[in-house]
Structure formats: C-alpha cells, structure tokens
A and B are shown apart, each in its own frame.
Chain A
C-alpha cells in the first residue's frame, strides 16, 4: 500500500474544499485534496447556479444575507470568468403577502444590499416574458455562477502553488493516534486500490457527507440533510435572475444559465447524503410555481432535472427545534475545531453555508487549521483575481459557437446540441490512457449528450469513435453505448411528457429499431445477472 505525507489533507472536491485548498496554498501550506468522485460532483455540481446577493435571506437569516452580499462582491472581483452578471429581480405578485415587501426592503437596507425599485413598465421593458401582474419589483445584484469553472480555477491555482488534488479517492477511515487525527486511508473508487495519507491536520469539507467523515473518527457532527430539485427548461425565457418577493418557499427562483432557465427548488429532508432521487410531483410543482410568474412556461420543454442535498448545520442550541419551514433553516456555516469541542487534535470540520460563501468558509476554516499548525499567516484569497490561463468556457454554448464560426474547429461535430467535435472527443478519450472510460465521463468532460436530444444521435457516434480508438474486440462501444443510454434516461425520466416524451420516443426508436441495441445487450445483461447470482 502506498503512503504519502502532506501537511494538510482536505476532504471534499466541492466549492468549500477547493477554496480551502487554494487558501492554504496562498498561505504557503502545501495540501492535498481528495475527492471520492470527480471535482464538483457533490452538492456544488447540483446547485441552482445563483451567486446570491443575500436578498433571499434578509428577513429569515440576516447574518447569512450579510455574508452573501460581501462574498458576492469578492467573487465578482476574484472570479469574473465564472460569473455571468445577469443581475437579479425580486418581484411580488398579487398572490404574495403584501406585508412582506416593507420587511424585505428594510432587511436589504440593514444588510447593506443595494436595491432599486422598478416600475411595472421598467420590468416589462427589461423582462417581457414576466407576467404583467406584478405589484412590486426591485433590482438586486444577483448573478449566475458556474461552480465547475470556479472549483477548477481554485484547484488549478492551488496546483500552481505546489498543492495537489486527487479525484476518485475516497476517505474510508481517519487514522487516529494519541488523541490526534494523523491521516486517512483512501480507496480508489474505480479500481479499489488502497493507500494511506499522513497529514498534520485534516480538513473535513465533505459537504453532506461531513457527518459520515467525522464519524470515521468517532465524532458526532449533526447536519441536517435537505434535498432540493431543479428543472432546466430548454430556453432562457428571462435574462435576469428572478426571485419571488415572498418568504422563501418552493420553486421561487428562476435562474437563466447559459442557454437554459433553471427552476427551483424543493426542500425535502432526507437521511442519505447521496439521495438525489426526484419525485414527479416536485417537477410539476416547479412548473406550477413558475407558470404565474413566467406565463406559458409550463408548455415549454423541460430538458433535465436534478437534485442536490444541502448540508445544513444545526447548532447545538437549535437542536430539537422545528423551523417554520425548511427554507428557513439557517444557511449559516460552522467551523468546528474538534480539538476544542471533542478534545481530538488534527481535525477540523467546515459545514453549512452556501456556494456563494465558499471562500469565506474556507478562510475561517483555514484560520483554525493554521492555529492548530501553530502558524499565523493572514488570508489573501480576497486580494487578487484567480489566475486563469484561458477562461475554460468551453461548456458555454455561445463560446463554442463563436469558436466554430471563427474557424477554430477541426473535424466533425459529434454532438450537435452541445457542439462537441471529434478532435475534442478523441483528446478526451486519449486522456484516460488505458483506464476504463465511460461515455458518461466524456459527457462530464465535454458536455457530450447534454442537449435537447440527450445523446439520441451522438451516443452512437461517440461509441463508434471510442471503439475505433480503443480497438477493443470485445464490443466496448456497444456496452458503453448501452450504459450511456440508460444514464441519460435516468436524468429525463421525471420529464417525459410533451416534447421530451416525443424526444425519447425518437431516441428509443433509434436505439431499438434503427440500431438494435436492445437485442445486443440482452445476452450481456443475462450474463451479468448470472454472474451476480
């Protein structure tokens, strides 16, 4: 078993862990981040995409509101490449409680969030798709934020400073010796290989899994897990983020991201950090809530739905208390110094908060880490922009279209919805060396199959290229295609009515009738079942 020694081990490749890795590196501490899947696949990759202005929390959670507006300003400065400055609107309709508006306005003033009142005409001019039945509207500095870009920038910058990040490495055990955590055992989630990392200090930034990780050292960290579902519609509808001006509730934020509009979210307590299932009523609810604000959206085409799990921190004094509704549980974060709380040195847990506040969370957590290491070096992550060589915007459709129009494309377009070319695909396959590669990995790398047709066309093409490139006689392409088809289907399963139902009729027709994939995998499936039995 291989062994590595680092100064600090960061667990979790979400926004919090990545920001902490970067913060540590800037303070001169070389660290290693480990992530059980790929970067940005936990809650940070399944969120609503909103760089909060704080407006949502001014009434229920003023402290978080203040943190949000401060960090909103910082992230705009240090990570402009990840942010689209859509601006935000809070709009009230006749169905919303009128007495909430003055409370909310006062809350914004208190938190220092700049707002601007708009007339009905101004709203109509700015966002013609919104209902004319608006009783109050305010502009606010919300923005949309690409977590994938942000996280990768944090990690790349840290790597430049000598730190590193390993993906597909799961912490299976924390090593405890003489009253201190001294490292962790890792398992490769693809190959099962084991290794050990020794560290002077371990930072637990495992998001919804933070409780599970703490438990590996025998500690009890209470987090409230709360699942939320979002639905992406296939056009933007609006160009500004629209929030309903009412106490936070289900389905009241609409975020234009890239080419889509994301409706969300629900809020359902769960016990399992990996619980990302979606129920049909949640989808209908998102649409029903959006319809009065964006009339006609219900007849639109829902492209994808996904769910994420909020890791909400419940401070000991609040335990056993019921919040009025789950949207009102505090979004504040906590840094737990287990040396102080549990008399166990070498472990710090950071949990709660928002993606918007990830840098701040990292700053506070790293302060405690340095304390334990006996160092005092100030945080500088808010001081200057993150270095990015070339903005990695290739997953933004307009950017790829622009490249294409300006002659920067070579070779065939394999995925037309998301503009993925054959050279890109080949390079991505190449990058896996002789490691196994699933079409779904290529999807995450390139956005292959993420558009309206959901791999109806590019699935076969990508499988053919994979087969050609790997030259594997065992039908790797066929199996990869079958897996990809089912993977894509899982994502749209809750959205199969109207247009998307027709799309999947077409996809099913292609796979069954044109290609005969179902007939080919039947023996494979039977073999698998026999093996399992």
Chain B
C-alpha cells in the first residue's frame, strides 16, 4: 500500500515519517520513530500498555492509526521526565516497588499522569477505576495504587 507522509509533534519534537495507512500509531512510534517505550500487550484496546496522549487526550495508541497523528501532538512515556528529573509518578513507582516486570509501567504512568491532571486528589477507588483499563499481571495493583496516591499527595504539596 502506498505510504503516507505524516508530520506530527512527539514529546515536543517535530517528526516526520512514512506510514502505511494500515499501521497503528503504536506501530509508527515503535517501528518508525524508535520510541519503544509504549508497549503492545494486546493490540485491541484492552490492556493500556500502549497508552499515550494525543492532543491531550489519553488514548490507546494501538487503536489510533499512525496517519491520524498528522498535525497533532503526541506525548509518550519517553517525554514524561523533565530531562534527567523524573516525574513524581516515576519516582514514586520506583520507591514503592510498583513495578515487577515493568512492562505495564509506561502505560500506567502515562494514564496516571492524566488522572492527576484532571483529579489531583483522587480517592483509592477513583484511582482504581481510572486505571481499570491498564492491566498489570504482576503486582496485584496494590503498590501501583499506593504509588499513584503518594505521588498525588506530593504533587499537591508542591502546588500548595
């Protein structure tokens, strides 16, 4: 199939790539841009490992076509830290041992960042429901939820 030229912004950088119109945004990020931080756990929108923000909306990048990124802004796990300074969520995930294999971690971090943006003071239940689309098979979620709530508390303090 003839490839389509796509220009988009990823983590603040302008990037161009050629996409087969059948390729997902996830494929394009991983295979054309070398951004392999977003993971494919299912390819059907069920696991959240591929979570990214597209123009500020949290999406499963396996359900978005690469060509749909034209002219839009994509933010992925690779852009979450500010240079060498980790986002509080990233720091808290390490401190709380909220990852075992770490495969779900990029998607969960991206999704959790969005949660704290729309709801800086979530309850445990709200956090569990927000992250219900992000599967983790290793942790039983306990430490993930604790890490998110702890990061939220720290971020509220910083704002205050």
Partners in one complex: no
Interface residues of B (CB under 8 A from A): none
Interface residues of A (CB under 8 A from B): none
